Structure 1
Amino acid sequence: MAAHVADTHEMIRVHGARENNLKDVSLELPKRRLTVFTGVSGSGKSSLVFATIAAESQRLINETYSAFLQGFMPTVARPDVDLLDGLTTAIIVDQERMGANPRSTVGTATDANAMLRILFSREGDPYVGPPNAFSFNTASVSASGAITVDRGAERTRAEKVTFTRAGGMCPRCEGRGAVTDVDLGALYDETKSLNEGALTIPGYSMDGWYGRIFRQCGYFDPDKPIRDYGTRERHDLLYREPTKIKVEGINLTYAGLVPSIQKSFLSKDREAMQPHVRAFVDRAVTFTTCPDCDGTRLSEAARSSRIDGVSIADACAMQISDLAVWVRGLDRPAVGPLLGALGDTLDSFVDIGLGYLSLDRPAGTLSGGEAQRTKMIRHLGSSLTDVTYVFDEPTIGLHPHDIDRMNDLLLALRDKGNTVLVVEHKPETIAIADHVVDLGPGAGSAGGEVVFEGTLEQLRGADTLTGRHLDDRARLKDTVRAPTGVVEVRGAATHNLRDVDVDVPLGVLVAVTGVAGSGKSSLVHGSLARRDDVVAIDQGAIKGSRRSNPATYTGLLEPIRKAFAKANGVKPALFSANSDGACPVCKGSGVIETDLATMAGTATPCEECEGKRFEASVLEYTFGGPEDPRDISQVLAMSVAEAESFFGSGSAKVLAAHRILSRLVDVGLGYVTLGQPLTTLSGGERQRLKLAAQMGDAATGVLVLDEPTTGLHLADVENLLALLDRLVDAGRSVVVIEHHQAVMAHADWIIDLGPGAGHDGGLVVFEGTPAALVADRSTLTGQHLAAYVGSQPPA
């Protein structure tokens, strides 16, 4: 009995996991070891690691807090699993982009800025105040008040004094580093009155609350054209500060258009806006560097305080690798422990391959891989042990040269006595695992099972997709395509690029390579992608509601709805869950959501439609003929691969739908269901979905892809290469930013940037064929590609 208890303390036990596509999965994971989870995209890796193990750990931790505190925490529902035992505190280090908050920077997202502020508040000359005096998120405040003064023999009396709180925020730009100028002509049509719909701002309809406020505020005549307004009326319409008013007996706040726009639109991250709002902001608002603080976000006082001639603004603008050297060189015994901690944090950035960043870099501009590695910083120096760290493809965005350093960090976390769970596709990281769990055998409904557990060597001999492809190596092509022309890039100086001149060949497959931070994205997105004939496809979120799915996004649902309508003699709108065919109870969402306050909310299938989203009468209409009739909900539940077969033959043949489905299969999304919410797709899946939609356009111009191998299993990389070949052969010029050696080897031309990252990069260090790069071996990329294809190992 004692031995059994000891064993359970050494294992995380999962029994009967059924989250998403998991099929009653049971397994035991060794604690204080590094376990890598492998399998094709959609096989169930994330469902097991994130949606089951990590989710339950976080849910149980949240339940230890009071109901009051839980009300401020994100609610986590219990995963669909029979038993989870032996869990420890889980820390998730994922690839979610950091912060839609425009005030968040690399420095504020870690402890680095906080330590710098303390340093300058203690050692800066002249002294300007406590740490908040160096914070661009804290404003200076002055206020008057009364205090009681005891005059001893005199009577006690009150005196009026002024209280001040020093903050480091630039008063002009309010700590944003940029000032805005609003084009008033984009806010309204001055030939119309308000009642005639003069306002052209999204959401400012005269039919809603804004209309009632503007019509009844009393500051101007809503029936008078705006061009006829007097000075006072125009000022009140545009600039009046928030003022309490009463409309229809309700106390409300009125504010002019400009302060209203600043509050409702400009306080949000542009990328988080809905497309029509973003288009309005781009049209109506211009952003320029603040002339008072020169973009540093800091007040003059904060910038005036220096240590050895360096201000906090100078320090935050330094490349982190340089800042680490500066901090280590300071001889300030009074703050020795602080300098040591700050130096360790900055060294962690360098160790993790982010030394090229600066602390003033907006957090929202980091890629998913950079964001994930930045989140790691706070854990590397932690004294916690027996924690479960959960990583989602930590090698994304890393050059082969940097993967070794990432592996060292993962092993260091394990060696401190922690359990490390990693979802990964790269053989280099699978190779360091103590234990491997392979899921499959396929994706979606064809996956969800554990098909292998064991060591790396055992995996090599396993008859699974991962085992069979673990040692795959792409070959250099015997012949490469000849370019049909070039795009000339001259004097490129975006970010760290150093006046780069380069010719990008057309009509071929071009790989842009180099270590993270070498300037690849700056060259491609800052110069090439700005051309009118270039289409750039990234991994960013696809705007839309949770009702959006692959069928709606690609336009696939349109020919399907028309086919259903024609076959049944009814209108197409019946076959939309967002239109006439929606279930009247759940309004087409398929679930009934219940807010349980401090507890996790519930989303239960709608009893009326049983989660099918459609009105019952709509589901009586079928399509596909007597041999295989399907209703619209059954079609949306199909995987892409199943639907391609269904709509490609027999009485269910719909050519327009089949063409779209074939493209989705081509990009490796055959396992995704047609009705799967877009919000559940990974970054790599989003990029491939965008690519499939783009493939329907005429095959001309330049197509730019940013790391298209992200999230792809080893077995799928070969399919991607075939797809890239088909795009080029059909007339596209394809440029990929890529770290995967298989893509480099398969390219017709390579543009390698470097030699290092940040100010150590920004140059084109090689242009030519992959074979020439391997023969040259003068760059880090060349050395690693040579090792990959079986030549000389990297230095």
Structure 2
Amino acid sequence: MAETEETIDVQGARTHNLKDIDVQIPREKLVVITGLSGSGKSSLAFDTIYAEGQRRYIETFSAYARQFLGSLERPDVDKIDGLSPVIAIEQKTTSRSPRSTVGTITEVYDFLRLLFARASDAYSYHTGKKMVSYTDRQIRDLIVSDFEGKRITVLAPVIRSRKGHYRELFEQIAKQGFVKVRVDGEIRDLEKGMKVDRYKTHDIEIVVDRLQAASDAETAGRLDESIRTALYAGDGVMMVLEAESDQPRYFSRDLMCPETGISYPVPEPNTFSFNSPKGMCPECNGLGHVYEANRKKIIPDASQSIKGGGLAPLGTYKKSWAFKQLETIALRYGFDLGDPIEKIPDEALEVILHGGNERFEVDSKTLGVRRQYKIEYEGIAHFIVNQYRDSDSTSIKRWARDYMDKVSCPDCGGARLRKESLYFRVDGRNIAELAQMDIGQLAAFFRDLRERLKGDQLQIAGEIIKEINTRLGFLLDVGLEYLSLNRGSKTLSGGEAQRIRLATQIGSQLVGVLYILDEPSIGLHQRDNNRLINSLKALRDLGNSVIVVEHDKDMIEKADHVIDIGPMAGKHGGEIISEGPPETLRLHDTLTAAYLNGSREIPVPAKRRKGNGKEIVLSGCTGHNLKGVTAVFPLGKMIGVTGVSGSGKSTLVNETLYPIMNAHYFNGVKRPMPYEKIEGLEHADKVIDINQAPIGRTPRSNPATYTGVFSEIRALFAKTTEASIRGYKPGRFSFNVKGGRCETCQGGGLRVIEMNFLPDVYVECESCYGKRFNRETLEIRYKGKSIADVLEMTIDEAVTFFEHIPKIYRKLKTIQDVGLGYISLGQQSTTLSGGEAQRVKLATELSKRDTGNTFYILDEPTTGLHFEDIRVLMEVLNRLVDKGNTVLVIEHNLDVIKMVDHIIDVGYEGGRGGGEIVATGTPEAVSKDPKSHTARYLKRELFPDRQLASQTQEEQ
């Protein structure tokens, strides 16, 4: 037995489906935990080891501090020895805030802000010339050298290009002892009651002193005093005017344009933060976008009249203040509310949309006199924008957004920062330009920046540039060179978010820590896998322990130690069936070993489908990094969209193709990325998108409620003879509704006992014994089973039980077909693994009746799936295609790619180097393309027996 100091010794783990297992995990090694989806991998790694590490950390705080932090439940395990401080790097850890970006979560943007605050050059936004700042001594020396012997006037600017009569200002200046002012270029004596035309813009400066510039001591002293006074009165800015000139020279202690006199405050890191009032654009509050009213959404059909509901936000005619105002506008511009909107004069429509305020008179036909009317109308477009901006109601904001478009901010152009912040530059670039570069470009910019800087700039910036280069290097190492710093964190996939956190942790240089990762290879092309594995090894080589829950073949083969959990999933899993080095794992009789050693495999289809001969052609796509591509999607086939991470796959499919199809078939409102045209939509009749958004993760959510089958089951129970006699409706059999549920635990099945400073304890409800329902409800039985008994059934058991009820059977059979027969109908969503949750969602969509002409879109459906799970999933998808449907998968997994009928390979690289269609055709055809990164790895899967020496040389 190994020493506990060299291992993490877990004894008696029983969390979820773990069967009282003991396992020793070597420390300071790269350890992979693998097995079928639902076998218990996450239960061991996250719900046992990580949960215990977190609990121990919380317990180091005082009882007083713990009451604010909350408490963690002790995992169901006898003992864990040798546990280091634990950090979990999961897939759902990044912020969903629109203010969170790749730059902020990696801290690279923080270093950029520091760099610009300390080592940037400021430029005038008026003239583009470099800004200058002086000390008082430098100002005096410049005045003496440039104006020596000349008569000058020292001025303090107080008003710049503003309207007003300024009577109070002149009185205040006089009280301070000044006798002259310069107004609009003319020097005037201060007089009592002096004022200027309030409707014109004015420039006003105080005349501080008039003297002859000289270098003698007496003049220098007087000049020093005048400079101090002028800078104080002018708020840090002063002017010097030569007697024969009307063009003043500006001087300032702050950064200032010497020609126009505009000045910037001294920069600090917050000057470049879009999350700080000092740096954010005031128009969009640092978000980079604003919402503006869309005329087409307000008036969807101009052939309708206002009375008939032509103005969508107002609806059809009713007696209200808004329609009364519209009648007044109609009177003013000579039209009727029953006229089609397209016939209404343009100037009237402008008032209707954007408001107006005027009085007018109209002859009264009945009274024979002129009557006065008044238009005081805010305008529908203005009203919508103001409601969205000012309302505290979420529902009103949602209503307003239905008539608005999200557009780039007109003030900052999407840069998020105020104008002044964008005129500070390092090596000719402002901070927004650097944030827009992808990380590959940014790394190249900083790699030799030190050589391009000089003097004080280099001395100040040297250490900051070193830190930036180090962090960018880590991001490159985990294959994220295609991301930019201003990319919103909520747009990142789970795998990207996890690899960003991984890069951040490597950068922290911690030692002696246990890192636990959940499938970091998600969304990563085979080409980049080695870089990820090397990053994990670097983390290990620092002196840390790394545990990875993973199905990737390369990751398993390059690990130091592999733990295989099984033998099957759910109730039939939860045991350690193999552990040791990868070469030992191959020798065992397990599903994982069988796929690794080749005794089991997902076979390549004997022939590819020909399809139905029809196709959808999407032309001129330019969203994000797409370079005007035209993609052809042949129908009646399984289509695989492949390519390296960041090449443009999701932009092409999820952000361009799907929104177009969804709008066409279902009137979806999501705006697609820019494209020229699409042809062939009539050849399909609906589109279904099965994305990676998680299902509801509350304890009251379960597979039965999510898939909708529980509604059918409740309706079935309500139709039983006993339920009909008692008058029970379907709601009686819901654990979320008063009436049928147990009120002691409110349908939860558990009661929470608060233990003050100790963790809360969950105990089985003493009234219903965990059944969730009251006695009367449980007395209703269908084929001898109560509603609680049905929720405890596994999917496999329920399929047999309900086989004669088509509505219920069809939904349950689909869940069984995607390999989830082992989970129970009422299993809490919080206890489902990521792979299980994804397949519940997939089963929900697949259970809907297909027409044989449906277009399915799946984004990486193999997330969280073992080789065997992928085989089962592909059988389901193949059945869909065999019925005539089209299935499109965005995928990196070669076991899926080799089975599709048609590949669209996007590349060549990620980010700016991507956005082109590299190759299309059958997998065999694409594998021969020398330019495709996918082809190299696909060739190995399709032709494993060939010696591909030339390919190996090319990779090396």
TM-score by length of structure 1 reads 0.83
In structure 2, which of residues 823, 833, 838 is the aligned counterpart of residue 687 of structure 1?
Answer: 838
Q: Take 1:193 and 1:605, find their aligned partners in 2: how far apart are those partners?
A: 57
- Equivalent in the alignment of 1:419: 545
Contact in 2 for aligned 1:476/1:770 (Cα 8 Å): no
- Residues 435 and 668 of structure 1: CA distance in aligned 2, closer, same or farther (over 3 Å): same
- Equivalent in the alignment of 2:869: 716
- Residues 193 and 418 of structure 1: CA distance in aligned 2, closer, same or farther (over 3 Å): farther
**1:503 Cα shift?**
0.8
**1:668 Cα shift?**
1.9
- Equivalent in the alignment of 2:435: 316
- Equivalent in the alignment of 1:222: none
Larger mean CA deviation between 607-616 and 592-601 belongs to 592-601
Q: Take 1:278 and 1:740, find their aligned partners in 2: how far apart are those partners?
A: 41
Q: Take 1:74 and 1:705, find their aligned partners in 2: how far apart are those partners?
A: 39
Does residue 1:741 correspond to 2:894, yes or no? yes
Contact in 2 for aligned 1:590/1:613 (Cα 8 Å): yes
User: SS of the residue aligned with 2:508?
Assistant: coil
Does residue 1:775 correspond to 2:928, yes or no? yes
- Equivalent in the alignment of 2:475: 349
How do residues 335-734 of structure 1 correspond to structure 2 at under 5 angstroms?
335-470=461-596, 471=598, 472-484=600-612, 485-530=614-659, 531=661, 532=665, 533-543=686-696, 546-570=699-723, 571=728, 572-579=730-737, 580-594=739-753, 600-624=759-783, 629-648=784-803, 653-695=804-846, 696-699=848-851, 700-734=853-887
User: SS of the residue aligned with 1:527?
Assistant: helix
Contact in 2 for aligned 1:535/1:703 (Cα 8 Å): yes
- Equivalent in the alignment of 2:675: none
Larger mean CA deviation between 720-729 and 653-662 belongs to 653-662
- Equivalent in the alignment of 1:214: none
Q: Take 1:188 and 1:298, find their aligned partners in 2: how far apart are those partners?
A: 37
Larger mean CA deviation between 435-444 and 568-577 belongs to 568-577
- Equivalent in the alignment of 2:197: none
Larger mean CA deviation between 348-357 and 452-461 belongs to 452-461
- Residues 670 and 193 of structure 1: CA distance in aligned 2, closer, same or farther (over 3 Å): farther
Q: Take 2:892 and 2:705, find their aligned partners in 1: how far apart are those partners?
A: 32
- 1:179-219, Cα deviation, whole Å (9 max, x unpaired): 2347998888895899xxxxxxxxxxxxxxxxxxxxxxxxx
Q: Take 1:121 and 1:492, find their aligned partners in 2: how far apart are those partners?
A: 39
**1:233 Cα shift?**
12
Q: Take 2:833 and 2:312, find their aligned partners in 1: how far apart are those partners?
A: 36
User: SS of the residue aligned with 2:611?
Assistant: coil
In structure 2, which of residues 86, 92, 102 is the aligned counterpart of residue 90 of structure 1?
Answer: 86
- 1:335-363, Cα deviation, whole Å (9 max, x unpaired): 21211110111121111111101000110
**1:710 Cα shift?**
0.9
**1:601 Cα shift?**
3.7
**1:15 Cα shift?**
1.2
- Equivalent in the alignment of 2:348: none
User: SS of the residue aligned with 1:81?
Assistant: coil
Q: Take 1:97 and 1:703, find their aligned partners in 2: how far apart are those partners?
A: 29
- Residues 74 and 358 of structure 1: CA distance in aligned 2, closer, same or farther (over 3 Å): farther
**1:413 Cα shift?**
1.1
The unaligned stretches of length 5 or more in structure 2 are 123-254, 256-265, 299-310, 322-373, 451-457, 666-685
Instruction: Tell me the amino acid that sits aligned with residue 271 of structure 2.
Output: A
Does residue 1:290 correspond to 2:383, yes or no? no
- 1:263-306, Cα deviation, whole Å (9 max, x unpaired): 564xxxxxxxxxx8996464255322111111111111111111
Q: Take 2:697 and 2:573, find their aligned partners in 1: how far apart are those partners?
A: 28
Contact in 2 for aligned 1:519/1:754 (Cα 8 Å): yes
- Residues 608 and 403 of structure 1: CA distance in aligned 2, closer, same or farther (over 3 Å): same
- Residues 601 and 297 of structure 1: CA distance in aligned 2, closer, same or farther (over 3 Å): farther
User: SS of the residue aligned with 2:841?
Assistant: helix
- 1:501-551, Cα deviation, whole Å (9 max, x unpaired): 121111000000001101111111122212133221101123585422211
**1:596 Cα shift?**
5.5
Contact in 1 for aligned 2:37/2:833 (Cα 8 Å): no
Q: Take 1:453 and 1:371, find their aligned partners in 2: how far apart are those partners?
A: 30
Contact in 1 for aligned 2:794/2:823 (Cα 8 Å): yes
**1:745 Cα shift?**
0.8
Contact in 1 for aligned 2:790/2:798 (Cα 8 Å): yes
- Residues 82 and 188 of structure 1: CA distance in aligned 2, closer, same or farther (over 3 Å): farther
**1:178 Cα shift?**
1.3
**1:602 Cα shift?**
3.8
- 1:71-111, Cα deviation, whole Å (9 max, x unpaired): 45364221111111111011111111521211111111111
User: SS of the residue aligned with 2:69?
Assistant: coil
Identity of paired residues, percent? 42
- Equivalent in the alignment of 2:139: none
- Equivalent in the alignment of 2:138: none
Q: Take 1:593 and 1:750, find their aligned partners in 2: how far apart are those partners?
A: 53
- Residues 544 and 473 of structure 1: CA distance in aligned 2, closer, same or farther (over 3 Å): closer
Contact in 2 for aligned 1:540/1:683 (Cα 8 Å): no
**1:715 Cα shift?**
1.0
After superposition, the CA RMSD in angstroms is 2.8
Does residue 1:10 correspond to 2:129, yes or no? no
Contact in 1 for aligned 2:752/2:762 (Cα 8 Å): yes
User: What is the count of residue pairs matched by the alignment?
Assistant: 696
Contact in 2 for aligned 1:563/1:654 (Cα 8 Å): no
Instruction: Tell me the amino acid that sits aligned with residue 771 of structure 2.
Output: K
- Residues 257 and 768 of structure 1: CA distance in aligned 2, closer, same or farther (over 3 Å): closer
Q: Take 1:599 and 1:314, find their aligned partners in 2: how far apart are those partners?
A: 51
Contact in 2 for aligned 1:321/1:347 (Cα 8 Å): no
Instruction: Tell me the amino acid that sits aligned with residue 286 of structure 2.
Output: G
User: SS of the residue aligned with 1:776?
Assistant: coil
Instruction: Tell me the amino acid that sits aligned with residue 412 of structure 2.
Output: C
In structure 2, which of residues 90, 96, 100 is the aligned counterpart of residue 100 of structure 1?
Answer: 96
TM-score by length of structure 2 reads 0.69
Q: Take 1:278 and 1:415, find their aligned partners in 2: how far apart are those partners?
A: 52
Q: Take 1:528 and 1:97, find their aligned partners in 2: how far apart are those partners?
A: 29
Q: Take 1:233 and 1:774, find their aligned partners in 2: how far apart are those partners?
A: 62
- Equivalent in the alignment of 1:199: none
Contact in 1 for aligned 2:38/2:835 (Cα 8 Å): no
User: SS of the residue aligned with 1:502?
Assistant: strand
- Residues 461 and 381 of structure 1: CA distance in aligned 2, closer, same or farther (over 3 Å): same
In structure 1, which of residues 144, 168, 171 is the aligned counterpart of residue 279 of structure 2?
Answer: 168
Q: Take 1:387 and 1:542, find their aligned partners in 2: how far apart are those partners?
A: 32
- Equivalent in the alignment of 1:223: none
- Residues 585 and 277 of structure 1: CA distance in aligned 2, closer, same or farther (over 3 Å): farther
Q: Take 1:62 and 1:379, find their aligned partners in 2: how far apart are those partners?
A: 21
- Residues 502 and 310 of structure 1: CA distance in aligned 2, closer, same or farther (over 3 Å): same
Instruction: Tell me the amino acid that sits aligned with residue 635 of structure 2.
Output: L
Contact in 1 for aligned 2:388/2:400 (Cα 8 Å): no
- Equivalent in the alignment of 1:160: none
**1:234 Cα shift?**
12
Contact in 2 for aligned 1:34/1:411 (Cα 8 Å): yes
**1:662 Cα shift?**
0.8
Q: Take 1:599 and 1:325, find their aligned partners in 2: how far apart are those partners?
A: 53
**1:394 Cα shift?**
1.0
